[in-house]
Chains A and B, each alone.
Chain A
């Protein structure tokens, strides 16, 4: 182990390691510099059920066994209003699980004008008769059988892979409506399996759609309705191993199907981490990150996915693309990795990735700062970026989102804590004169060795003080981050009560941050009014990432759709308008969600004709028969 300063964590890791050591067939002796694992397909007879093999991993082949088929996340975790009308979060997986959230109901009713009496429950179980019969390419299926790669054409498996998590996709599922969906799902176990599948698909002209974590919010997983060939969903979830860890160069070679939480947990066991933590990291996969140019909240320390990858292996209809070495930087013409990063499954399947790893940080500390206004908050973030002293994560939530976060405060057990809370509120609003309807909060996360974290913390708080910021405690900070993990669960709750919503993001130069936030929020409110939405919408934003030359801004938008005949259409019109507004204000088409099919109409104006032509010619060369036919991007 590289680090043994934190001995308690080290011991936990060792314990966990020993539990699954046998399964991994890896010596628990962690002094080995290189740990190698071979392809499962070579060690396991194809007839053997591989279900037990995924023990310790989050994602089973039959995902619907632990995850919702028509909503976000685990089946056992959801928000609901109990008989007393109090909100609670079920399950045992999260910090919030099993807790009562007393303020949520008032916030929910107050913000949306929703009413607990007016429910819109989802269709509870999938009606298989509503599912189209699969169009199978018989020869392909025959030849596939002979390879021994597991596959399925059961309705439940196919429906699960027919969508991402866009509002319109989830809304349709809740109503039991299912459109074009994959005809078959395949679970390759390793790179070689993928090579075989792609060869067969080319041979028999079958359309392949790679499927990683299924957390797309760009309609990227939607099957093109005009596709007449058999569509095969290539689920990478079983390619989920760390093949080796190179402690001398601090890299790890990982199969692309591994989801974020598994990757992080397994690396932690060896004392390492990637530090790549997108909000969807519980479910999104490494391959998906590469294919969409993902960004993690701690990118200030670790970098975004393009900074993290050292080597990528991708299977395309033309063959396998990869570099011959692992040099840290190269000057060899345009970087071929950049054809792969952000290709959104249109060129091939990413199978293996070598990425940088870091020793686990010794010390982590949350923090938060309250600012009297959003303007001052943005000015502070800008200054932090100017001095290049951003902590692992720094986010600035606007007033609405601050209130939202506040509504998620779990019930406090002691009178003392609630008294303290009251005192804090009093201090900020009365003593310091902050307007509760204008103030906003920045949440912080520091990482590193203890001394430096404390030093760093002081530096950041000093800057904040210059902009009128007041330190507001670790708890507020941590809750801020929690909001991003549970927001998707909250959307499901909203959808039970006539409230629909979604998030979208952009990146924008510093001088336009305030303007874009104000204008996009105002545009959303105006459009909702014009489109006949009866209640004022929730239109809120936060600045989630800082860069030298700009920032990433993230918007939440939700409204109560009672009285609308086609709420999804209204929603889409408003989102469309909001995106136009973003582009008109100098924002980018996407910072990390990707383009998919949802935003491809704007590709030409954002990357120019020549740009589109370049991308198109790559596609034409790599995949002339459009085997990877999800029609994203172009």
Chain B
């Protein structure tokens, strides 16, 4: 690990105007943005699609072609070095103010530099903050690596000036929900493929698709993944190199915004004025940022033996061709694997561990009485050891004493917790001046904001614990020690929670084995050929892990109950979210429900998708307002399985392709 900030000493100005001379990609003759766009527009593929769409819609080929030009104009990047310099200048200013340090792993950067000369590179960072968007380009600029073009959401393009700056820094913009728009899809996919094919520049995209509101990894979107695989599968490039990048923040800039969003407060539209208003975030300190460049992965090597490339031999490669099941599966597997590697590359902060500990303290204790500081320290240190046993990478400052680390971490996160008289308390949401006393609902919502922020930080490290935790959960659900029974339950839980946590498809039994060996390593269980039994000292670990997932179980059960009790079998997504939130709020106030997570729209949506995957809920209308139909007995059965009332069965789920 090296510090980018060793350049802190030199002037921002001279940094921005440094000579930038990346070694070129070996086969790529330099190609301008205009040439790239022309190549896309004149491609055989688009010509074919234009004709097709013209026939379908009854409009003339010229009209469709004009539409394509419009789409392309809206989409295309316009990478210019002078704007990169401008960006480098401002970004550096801003970063220096808000972050104490940015760490980068040099061996990763060097490997990337090497890889960029050999084949087209796809940079795949995780997405936790708007800052992600700039930081990779900034680092590549510092180390003389060709600058990437970056896939970004279309709202960013709508921002005045900023949109244009981003465009000239290499961003290209993608509309949301485009599966059904054939023409748009065609333009985008040809655009992406042309970039990969020509080695125009490294391509950067967020495989999770969106910024993760919960700071948890999101299930990958596959559309883009297939677009970048295609040039390799069709032999248009020798290889494609994937570089997973893990960006970890001590403190995320948008923390409270995210929590509000999860509670149903709509996200403010991205606008330039909004950005300027947000400049107050610049006055705060956000700790350190760690950027870990993963080992470059060769798609060729990964797909070896998994795919038969000669399937493309009999149809002209320019014709649109749906990927077959084998290719789909491979793309999905690759995307999931990348997300897992991102997870493994992230650093777990002390604060994240503390969040785990704090969330296991009863709510009242945390808000009213407070938690003893030394107790928090003790438990966090215990958890640190467990995390290390599970192979986590920690960003625990080594030079400081443990209590110093704890204090500084608490200080950094004073927006969430504060320390008073040796006790730690949760901060209530911002308190606007009110005349009348606040209602219990409002009070609850204020709590919820702080809780969900805490939950997000806990989520940052969940991937470290989730496999052993699922095993611990399976042990408590089945009350069995038999390995095969546990495995079945484990698979069921993976299936149920596959929107919550990332599991590589088809690796359940390896995941199970990994869970066993990790629990064995921390001496929590004895593992034999047939049995997994709790050891004498293991109960604490298992209880902790079960408690870690309890909020999910409780939230899921709540929603299952709601669905079964609801009179109507058909509802829209909006209705569902609203009703569940009301119910959850009621139960929290009455003290029946102990977790605020049920309020999170993320969990609510995940329940819907999980049930859809399990076949208990079906979508009957796809439009602005998705409409669903519930199969109550199936939902009840799922709930019973989760509660251990009936033995779990693993349903063969239908893989769904999502963008």
Interface residues of B in 308-350 (CB under 8 A from A): 308-310, 312-313, 316-318
Chain A residue nearest to B27 (CB atoms) is: A518
Q: Which residues of A contact B309 (CB under 8 A)?
A: 584-585
Judged by a CB distance under 8 angstroms, whether A522 is at the interface is yes
Q: Which residues of B contact A458 (CB under 8 A)?
A: none
Give chain A nearest CB distance to B128 CB in angstroms. Answer: 36
Q: Please, how many angstroms separate the alpha-carbon atoms of A241 and B318 in the complex? A: 52
- The answer to whether residues A523 and B310 also contact, given A511-B316, A511-B317, A518-B27 and a CB cut-off of 8 A, is no
Q: Is the CB of A523 within 8 A of B238?
A: yes
Judged by a CB distance under 8 angstroms, whether A64 is at the interface is no
Q: Please, how many angstroms separate the alpha-carbon atoms of A3 and B83 in the complex? A: 73
Q: Is the CB of A586 within 8 A of B235?
A: yes
Q: Is the CB of B317 within 8 A of A585?
A: no
Interface residues of A in 586-605 (CB under 8 A from B): 586, 605
Q: Please, how many angstroms separate the alpha-carbon atoms of A511 and B238 in the complex? A: 15
Of A373, A518, A584, the residue contacting B310 (CB under 8 A) is A584
Of A373, A584, A605, the residue contacting B235 (CB under 8 A) is A584
Q: Is the CB of B235 within 8 A of A515?
A: yes
Q: Please, how many angstroms separate the alpha-carbon atoms of A451 and B384 in the complex? A: 89
Q: Is the CB of B316 within 8 A of A585?
A: no
Interface residues of B in 277-327 (CB under 8 A from A): 308-310, 312-313, 316-318
1/0 per residue, CB under 8 A from B, across A574-618: the answer is 000000000111100000000000000000010000000000000
Chain B residue nearest to A584 (CB atoms) is: B309
Of B236, B239, B308, the residue contacting A515 (CB under 8 A) is B236
Task: Please classify how large the interface on chain A is, using the bins under 10, 10 to 19, 20 to 34, 35 or more.
Answer: 10 to 19
Q: Which residues of B contact A518 (CB under 8 A)?
A: 27, 238
- The answer to whether residues A519 and B235 also contact, given A584-B309, A585-B309 and a CB cut-off of 8 A, is yes
Q: Is the CB of B310 within 8 A of A519?
A: no
Give chain A nearest CB distance to B408 CB in angstroms. Answer: 48
Q: Please, how many angstroms separate the alpha-carbon atoms of A605 and B235 in the complex? A: 19
Q: Which residues of A contact B316 (CB under 8 A)?
A: 511
Q: Which residues of B contact A512 (CB under 8 A)?
A: 235, 317
1/0 per residue, CB under 8 A from B, across A35-72: the answer is 00000000000000000000000000000000000000
Q: Which residues of A contact B317 (CB under 8 A)?
A: 511-512
Judged by a CB distance under 8 angstroms, whether A195 is at the interface is no
Judged by a CB distance under 8 angstroms, whether A516 is at the interface is yes
Give chain B nearest CB distance to A541 CB in angstroms. Answer: 14
Q: Is the CB of B235 within 8 A of A522?
A: no
Q: Please, how many angstroms separate the alpha-carbon atoms of A373 and B309 in the complex? A: 28
Chain A residue nearest to B236 (CB atoms) is: A515
Q: Which residues of B contact A583 (CB under 8 A)?
A: 310
Give chain B nearest CB distance to A527 CB in angstroms. Answer: 12
Q: Is the CB of A586 within 8 A of B238?
A: no
Q: Which residues of B contact A605 (CB under 8 A)?
A: 310
Q: Which residues of A contact B310 (CB under 8 A)?
A: 583-584, 586, 605
Q: Is the interface of B mostly helix, strand, loop or mixed?
A: loop
Q: Which residues of B contact A522 (CB under 8 A)?
A: 238-239
Chain B residue nearest to A515 (CB atoms) is: B235
Give chain B nearest CB distance to A74 CB in angstroms. Answer: 41
Q: Which residues of B contact A511 (CB under 8 A)?
A: 316-318
Chain A residue nearest to B197 (CB atoms) is: A515
Chain A residue nearest to B311 (CB atoms) is: A584
Q: Which residues of A contact B29 (CB under 8 A)?
A: 373
Q: Please, how many angstroms separate the alpha-carbon atoms of A568 and B312 in the complex? A: 33
Q: Please, how many angstroms separate the alpha-carbon atoms of A586 and B309 in the complex? A: 9
Chain A residue nearest to B29 (CB atoms) is: A373
1/0 per residue, CB under 8 A from A, across B4-29: the answer is 00000000000000000000000101
Q: Please, how many angstroms separate the alpha-carbon atoms of A320 and B45 in the complex? A: 53
Give chain A nearest CB distance to B327 CB in angstroms. Answer: 14
Chain B residue nearest to A586 (CB atoms) is: B313
Q: Which residues of A contact B27 (CB under 8 A)?
A: 518
Q: Which residues of A contact B239 (CB under 8 A)?
A: 522
Q: Please, how many angstroms separate the alpha-carbon atoms of A623 and B284 in the complex? A: 89
Q: Please, how many angstroms separate the alpha-carbon atoms of A583 and B235 in the complex? A: 11
Interface residues of A in 77-119 (CB under 8 A from B): none
Interface residues of A in 343-378 (CB under 8 A from B): 373
Q: Which residues of A contact B312 (CB under 8 A)?
A: 586
Interface residues of B in 444-492 (CB under 8 A from A): none
Q: Please, how many angstroms separate the alpha-carbon atoms of A519 and B235 in the complex? A: 7
Q: Please, how many angstroms separate the alpha-carbon atoms of A522 and B235 in the complex? A: 12
Give chain A nearest CB distance to B233 CB in angstroms. Answer: 9
Q: Please, how many angstroms separate the alpha-carbon atoms of A516 and B313 in the complex? A: 12
Q: Please, how many angstroms separate the alpha-carbon atoms of A583 and B309 in the complex? A: 9
Q: Is the CB of A519 within 8 A of B313?
A: no
Q: Please, how many angstroms separate the alpha-carbon atoms of A519 and B27 in the complex? A: 12
Q: Which residues of B contact A523 (CB under 8 A)?
A: 238
Q: Please, how many angstroms separate the alpha-carbon atoms of A493 and B313 in the complex? A: 39
Interface residues of A in 486-530 (CB under 8 A from B): 511-512, 515-516, 518-519, 522-523
Chain A residue nearest to B298 (CB atoms) is: A526
Q: Please, how many angstroms separate the alpha-carbon atoms of A584 and B234 in the complex? A: 9
Interface residues of B in 182-236 (CB under 8 A from A): 235-236
Chain A CB within 10 A, most for which of B235, B239, B310, B318: B235
Q: Which residues of B contact A586 (CB under 8 A)?
A: 235, 310, 312-313
Chain A residue nearest to B231 (CB atoms) is: A515
1/0 per residue, CB under 8 A from B, across A308-322: the answer is 000000000000000
Give chain B nearest CB distance to A53 CB in angstroms. Answer: 51
Chain B CB within 10 A, most for which of A518, A583, A584: A584
Give chain B nearest CB distance to A440 CB in angstroms. Answer: 14
Interface residues of A in 319-343 (CB under 8 A from B): none
Give chain B nearest CB distance to A589 CB in angstroms. Answer: 11
Q: Which residues of A contact B313 (CB under 8 A)?
A: 586
Interface residues of A in 543-594 (CB under 8 A from B): 583-586
Give chain A nearest CB distance to B127 CB in angstroms. Answer: 33
Chain A residue nearest to B317 (CB atoms) is: A511
Q: Which residues of B contact A515 (CB under 8 A)?
A: 235-236
Q: Please, how many angstroms separate the alpha-carbon atoms of A511 and B236 in the complex? A: 10
Q: Which residues of B contact A519 (CB under 8 A)?
A: 235, 238
1/0 per residue, CB under 8 A from A, across B223-263: the answer is 00000000000011011000000000000000000000000
Interface residues of B in 588-635 (CB under 8 A from A): none
Q: Please, how many angstroms separate the alpha-carbon atoms of A585 and B239 in the complex? A: 13
Q: Which residues of B contact A585 (CB under 8 A)?
A: 235, 309
1/0 per residue, CB under 8 A from A, across B515-537: the answer is 00000000000000000000000
Q: Please, how many angstroms separate the alpha-carbon atoms of A516 and B316 in the complex? A: 15
Give chain A nearest CB distance to B308 CB in angstroms. Answer: 8
Chain A CB within 10 A, most for which of B27, B310, B317, B318: B310
Q: Please, how many angstroms separate the alpha-carbon atoms of A518 and B27 in the complex? A: 10
1/0 per residue, CB under 8 A from A, across B138-170: the answer is 000000000000000000000000000000000
Q: Please, how many angstroms separate the alpha-carbon atoms of A512 and B238 in the complex? A: 12
Q: Please, how many angstroms separate the alpha-carbon atoms of A584 and B304 in the complex? A: 12
Q: Which residues of B contact A516 (CB under 8 A)?
A: 235
Give chain B nearest CB distance to A374 CB in angstroms. Answer: 10
Q: Please, how many angstroms separate the alpha-carbon atoms of A522 and B317 in the complex? A: 21
Give chain A nearest CB distance to B145 CB in angstroms. Answer: 22
Q: Please, how many angstroms separate the alpha-carbon atoms of A518 and B235 in the complex? A: 9
Q: Please, how many angstroms separate the alpha-carbon atoms of A559 and B602 in the complex? A: 58
Q: Which residues of A contact B308 (CB under 8 A)?
A: 584
Give chain A nearest CB distance to B195 CB in angstroms. Answer: 17
Q: Which residues of B contact A373 (CB under 8 A)?
A: 29
Chain B residue nearest to A585 (CB atoms) is: B235
Chain A residue nearest to B232 (CB atoms) is: A519
Give chain B nearest CB distance to A54 CB in angstroms. Answer: 47
Give chain A nearest CB distance to B553 CB in angstroms. Answer: 47
Chain A residue nearest to B316 (CB atoms) is: A511
Give chain A nearest CB distance to B500 CB in angstroms. Answer: 38
Given A515-B236, A519-B235, A584-B235, 4 other A-B contacts at CB below 8 A? A512-B317, A518-B27, A522-B238, A584-B308
7 nearest interchain CB pairs? A584-B309, A586-B313, A585-B235, A522-B238, A515-B235, A519-B238, A584-B310
5 residue pairs bridging A and B, Cβ less than 8 Å apart: A373-B29, A515-B236, A518-B27, A522-B238, A586-B310
